[in-house]
Amino acid sequence: MEKALAKQLDRIRKAADKGGFDKALSLADEVMSQYPGSKELISERLRALMHCRPWSDVLQQLKQAAARFELVDLLLADSRDMLRHLFVDNAPFRGALLDYLMNIQAFDQITYLIRDLEEAERIRMVESWSALADEIQDEAVATSWRVAAGLGWMVTGHHDRAWEMWQGALRRDPRFLKKIMALCNRLPDFDLSSLHNRLRIIRLIVAAGKRDESLSLLQALGAEKPENALQILIEIPEIMGEDVVERDVCQLRFNLACQLADRELMGNVIADMLQLDEADLFAFQKQALVNLEDRQFKRYVLLQIGELYIRKGLWEPAALLLESLHQEDEHPEVVALMEHVLDNYPILPHLHLTVAQFQVRNNYKENALRHLTLIKEVGEFTNQIRELLEPSLAESFDSDYADFLFDILPQDSSLAALLALRMTADADSVEESFYERVLIKAPQLDRPPFWLMALAEVCRLSGKRDESVAHVAELLQRFPELSPEALRIAEYLTEIPGHFQPLAKAIAENLDQMEPRDLWLIVKRQCEKAFPAIATQPVVKSEDRDTTITDQGQKDDKSPFSKGLNEITSFVSEGEMQAAAQMAERLAERYPDRFRIVLSCLERFREDDSNRILWDKCRLNILIRAEAYDEAAQAGQEILMGPVPQDQLASIQQLVAFAHEGRGQHGEALKFFCLSSKNPRFYSANKTHLIRLLFPHHKEMVNEVLQVIMLHKDTASWQRVLSSWERNEPKDKEERRRWQMRFAQHARDPEALIEVAKWALAEGRVKDGSTALSQLNLKTNGLESALQDLVNSVKSKNPQDIQAGFVLGRYFLVHEEIPKSVTAFRELVSRAPEAAPRLFEYLKKFLDVHREHQGNVRLFGLLIRVGLDLNYMDECVAALNALGSEDRLGALTLADGITRVMLKPGSSPAALVALMELFSNWGAHDRVVDLAMNGQFGRTDVERRVAILEKALDDSHHGERAQLALATLHFSIQQFDACRSALSLIQDDDVRSQALELYNKLVERFPKDASLVREAAWASWLNGRYDEAVRHFTLLFDLGDPIAAVEAYAALAEREVPVSFSDLLERTGIHHIEALRQLRVVYGRIREMDLLRWERQGGPIPAESLEWLLSVGQLKRFHQLFEKMRSFVDRHLGERLQALYLAAQGKPYFGAMRLAQGAHDVVLKRSLLASCGMHEAALLIRDDNHITPLWLKREFLNNYGQPKWINMQVTHAQSARTEYSERSQMRGQESAS
């Protein structure tokens, strides 16, 4: 079978190669029934069809074959060229083929067809598809066109527009996803390993509604490498659109941000989680607690989630989160957020205790007591408060802590007695209220010794001497072994005149058991004498003990302390001053009772002025750690009064602030913290102190604190200060608002600026609101919704405001949301046209600076659109040139718009010439010609325009139109010879018809030029302007040129203008036979023009021209034209033309049968019947309405048989005639020889 098929194919190819395409087609048809699925046979049949059949037959075969085979495999080499020309030149064929391929969704074959087109033709075609997709009402059909348009844009290199079309198609019909994916895989220049392209594929999946799949792909893509995760986080708002704040999308973004461990990115993600419910937020919280390892990043993430809880009013979940975080990381920011929670939701005792523990450990006494006071009535926390405060009091006694602890301790507590003793140790007197508190707290019977001592001391200080004496006497009588502890109280009592008999009696009774006996004896004598002021040796002071210890330490040169001093000296001698200072601080910290020895050692080194500030800082650090706050504060003041290097000033001020804070002088501490915080290095360490110490007792420092925070643009601290201010001073609302506005303008904090804008708009101050928006940092993410709301508010209040709308457009532009930006700017210009100049300058500078957007068609389109409205023609041409250097195809898509506007009256001639030159450089000669023909140039740059048009003459497609444009230009500058020379080079009939007006103008100037009048006459005739043509031909007939006169006579006679044939012969002097021969040629030209005009313009059917085609034997062309005209031809004329066509094919009988039932010309009927040999039947027809009887058909069949046998008889007769003539020639040659 294969050999038989190969043999048949060889026969078909040989016939086709010799030009016998009809024969090749008939052979292919015969074989097709045997091998209907042969691709090679279909290819050969297509080849023959394209050469000898109308396009409808080609289309039918393509439809049958395209469903089974690819066109690229099906078409032979010459068939491909013919198909390309047919596809480009024949609009009905192109439309029908594309419509079929769309129906079967053969997009690959569409790609093959448009790849062979010229670049400009491809763009125009794809643009028409895009427009058609928007116009079609049937969604299914429109979606197919969108897919095809996307494919077309991809082939032409406009990838962004391609993806837009595909996404639009998938939103309407997700079933196209697999097909589009397959198309992407088959595109030769589509790299699936590129991150950019993979994200585009995922966008298509999102558009198809497959959200879960897209999120899974994004997660897997981000996990490959950090660069992918970063790019996904940047693009995901655009990919997911409004769904970016949904739970699953937030989960993906959260995972990627955790992978990158980037605070800024995570902040943007968490900011979009505000709308999630508590359960979702808890899931994110749990994930962060379990999975994050970086301690700082983990703290940041959990704090951000905690702030989300707070913003949603979920105080208890926020508290639980912060408590869990605090167990792992006791950072000040965690505690600060806890305080913020408690300020708004104070009924969380556990959290109060946690915050208080931190405050106590870090010596933030006022805040600690504030929180402890709120929970002191809760019994379950009493023991925990004791465990918190007792160690602190043991390390460093604080009267406020002691007073608080005294209140919460139970009655009869020995610790309460000790606290009372310690609180009164250095006091000169106590208030009556304190005495009453101690009396209430003390046991009434069998008081322990510490209570007796406490009562004695409190009574003495409150002026109740007799009660104090009684308590001391009881102590000595019941607990004489504790007499040394009571000695000091007794000595103080005896210094006051009074009655001391109970005390003297107690001493006398227990003197032998009391220590030191000598001193008590002196006290006894003083009591007995009741004499004032017995001088006793005071207790040795701590400094004396320090000195003693120091002396002993200095004597022991081998002690670790002495070795440390020696190391300090060694470092100094080696010039390692920084190491010496650090060693001194460590030594003083290790031996706190000997810190003064270290200080005395440092005094020796301070004599060196070059390192004085180093030793001063070391000294301050040692004093502060030793809690010698007064001395440290005084030393710091002295240092600051002298010369301090500028780079060390902030650190000294910070140390002085710590010293004042230790002294309890929080106002002074705040002052120095503010001074130190002006240096960014120290601000982060100081800001917690600034916030904590400001309220409620130092409101007067609020301006200084806010100035410092504003200097560093610290939004979080700023909000906490304002919250604390509002809590403590609610009435200062206006002052807080003014500060908020100042901060927003200085720090350009987005949230603050938006709040300021809202305040201003709420109060009707539109200008202030717009000004606040203009100061936003547009690189901040997540502002879109708020910005749009504010811009809408501004528009409603003042439609002419341009600032707010300008900010919105710039925001989208900065975030590379180009379509949204262009939409915002267009809306702004349409609402407020005065914004156009500013927008034009901004876009121009933006595109100059941001080179990455040099190829963005949308931005340049907006720039050019605005520039055209402003009549900035030269700048628009320059912008189009800049775009073309990056994206030639994109620039060409804008060319129609700029051309249309610049062709309007009033445009700059210089800009038009520049645009012409630009198009010429791009090779877009069709646009060059359009501008040259339609632009109003005047006499601007004539030589330059001539050069541009001469360059276009070489274009194979548009060279003729360029000749016409050049001729028009020469005419406008009165170079008539050059004009006529250019016109003479035009060969294309369509272009010559377009030159009609120019010909008419030339005829008006040169009416005696026969050749010129002749061209004008025929151009008028071709365009169907017969009155004008008759006028020209009349003039031409009178000019006397013989050839022109014959043409004029024929044209005038065709239009039934009275003209004499004898006059023609007389004027031309030619023989009448020759004249008739020439007229026949001219009439043929007239018929050709009629047919050409119908193909170009339509109109009445040129029946005479069609019959002329049959008369001259152009049957193929007649068939092609008649197929095109079939739907426009009435039945009567159609039957007549078909009958004539059959007769011309040698089938007069079939022609006669076509006319059998119609009212046709009797002469034609008789002629057709007679040519069949049916003379009797022909004579029976009497008039036009005579109907040929049906029996004639039967008679014809009886006499001549079936048509196929008739054809065989005719063939046989022709063969016999040929054989007879050959034999006759041979006989003649023989007789001649």
Q: In this predicted structure, what is the pLDDT of residue 610?
A: 65
Could you tell me if 1107 and 1084 are in contact, meaning their C-beta atoms sit under 8 angstroms apart? Answer: no
| pLDDT over 80 at 854, yes or no | no
Q: In this predicted structure, what is the pLDDT of residue 1227?
A: 60
Proportion of the chain above pLDDT 70, given as a percent: 80
pTM: 0.41
Q: What is the pLDDT of residues 1161-1190, one digit of tens each?
A: 777 777 777 776 666 666 666 665 555 544
Q: Which long-range contacts (CB under 8 A, 24 or more apart) does 1096-1101 make?
A: 1096/990, 1097/1024, 1099/1024, 1101/1125, 1101/1128, 1101/1129, 1101/1133
Name the pLDDT band for 759 (thresholds 50, 70, 90): low
Burial of 505: CB neighbours in 10 Å, binned 0-12, 13-18, 19+: middle
Task: Say which residue, 1050 or 370, is predicted with more confidence.
Answer: 370
Name the pLDDT band for 555 (thresholds 50, 70, 90): very low
Distances, alpha carbon 912 to alpha carbons 108, 920, 921, 988, in Å: 41, 12, 14, 27
Q: In this predicted structure, what is the pLDDT of residue 1233?
A: 47
E strand or H helix at 965: helix 959-972
d(CA 923, CA 303): 62
**CA-angle at 932, arms to 928 and 933, nearest 5°:** 120
Task: Say which residue, 563 or 1, is predicted with more confidence.
Answer: 563
Q: In this predicted structure, what is the pLDDT of residue 718?
A: 66
Name the pLDDT band for 1196 (thresholds 50, 70, 90): very low
Task: Say which residue, 1099 or 352, is predicted with more confidence.
Answer: 352
Alpha helices in 53-118 (DSSP H): 55-66, 71-74, 77-89, 91-103, 107-115
| pLDDT over 70 at 1010, yes or no | yes
d(CA 1143, CA 692): 113
90-99, 740-749, 802-811, range with greatest mean pLDDT: 802-811
Q: What is the pLDDT of residues 83-99, one digit of tens each?
A: 776 776 666 676 677 66
d(CA 504, CA 494): 10
d(CA 1095, CA 1123): 12
| pLDDT over 50 at 1201, yes or no | no
**CA-angle at 262, arms to 260 and 264, nearest 5°:** 140
Could you tell me if 1046 and 1059 are in contact, meaning their C-beta atoms sit under 8 angstroms apart? Answer: no
Q: What is the pLDDT of residues 521-544, one digit of tens each?
A: 667 766 766 534 333 333 333 333
Q: In this predicted structure, what is the pLDDT of residue 179?
A: 81
Q: In this predicted structure, what is the pLDDT of residue 1210?
A: 42
Could you tell me if 125 and 87 are in contact, meaning their C-beta atoms sit under 8 angstroms apart? Answer: no
3-state DSSP assignment of residue 222: helix
The mean per-residue pLDDT over the stretch 184-205 comes to: 81
d(CA 373, CA 371): 5
Q: What is the pLDDT of residues 495-519, one digit of tens each?
A: 666 667 777 777 777 777 777 766 6
Single-letter amino acid code for the residue at 1114:
Q
| pLDDT over 70 at 422, yes or no | yes
Burial of 331: CB neighbours in 10 Å, binned 0-12, 13-18, 19+: middle
E strand or H helix at 664: none
List the structure tokens of 84: 């390309």
Nearest to 628 by CA among 595, 586, 602, 675: 595
List the structure tokens of 997: 């007006």
Q: In this predicted structure, what is the pLDDT of residue 538?
A: 32
Name the pLDDT band for 148 (thresholds 50, 70, 90): confident
Burial of 401: CB neighbours in 10 Å, binned 0-12, 13-18, 19+: buried
Q: What is the largest CA-CA distance in the chain?
A: 197
Neighbouring CB atoms inside 10 A of 792's CB total 13
**CA-angle at 82, arms to 81 and 85, nearest 5°:** 90
Q: In this predicted structure, what is the pLDDT of residue 540?
A: 30
| pLDDT over 50 at 111, yes or no | yes
Would you give the distance in Å from CA 725 to the centre of its chain?
Answer: 40
d(CA 91, CA 96): 9
- Window from 78-82, 226-230, 285-289 with minimum mean pLDDT: 78-82
Q: What is the pLDDT of residues 34-89, one digit of tens each?
A: 676 677 777 777 777 777 777 777 777 777 776 667 666 666 656 766 777 677 66
Q: In this predicted structure, what is the pLDDT of residue 595?
A: 78
d(CA 1184, CA 1171): 18
d(CA 1165, CA 1156): 8
Write down the mean pLDDT value for the chain. 76
Could you tell me if 417 and 454 are in contact, meaning their C-beta atoms sit under 8 angstroms apart? Answer: yes
Q: What is the pLDDT of residues 677-732, one digit of tens each?
A: 777 777 777 777 777 777 777 777 777 777 777 776 666 776 677 777 777 777 77
d(CA 584, CA 1074): 133
d(CA 165, CA 174): 13
Could you tell me if 786 and 755 are in contact, meaning their C-beta atoms sit under 8 angstroms apart? Answer: no
Q: In this predicted structure, what is the pLDDT of residue 549?
A: 35
List the structure tokens of 455: 């009562």
d(CA 784, CA 398): 54
Nearest to 277 by CA among 312, 304, 311: 312
Could you tell me if 998 and 975 are in contact, meaning their C-beta atoms sit under 8 angstroms apart? Answer: no
Single-letter amino acid code for the residue at 757:
A
| pLDDT over 80 at 334, yes or no | yes
Rg (CA), the chain: 54
DSSP string, 399-436: HHHHHHHHHHSPTT-HHHHHHHHHHTTT-S---HHHHH
List the structure tokens of 150: 């996307």
Q: In this predicted structure, what is the pLDDT of residue 1193?
A: 46
Task: Say which residue, 125 or 284, is predicted with more confidence.
Answer: 284
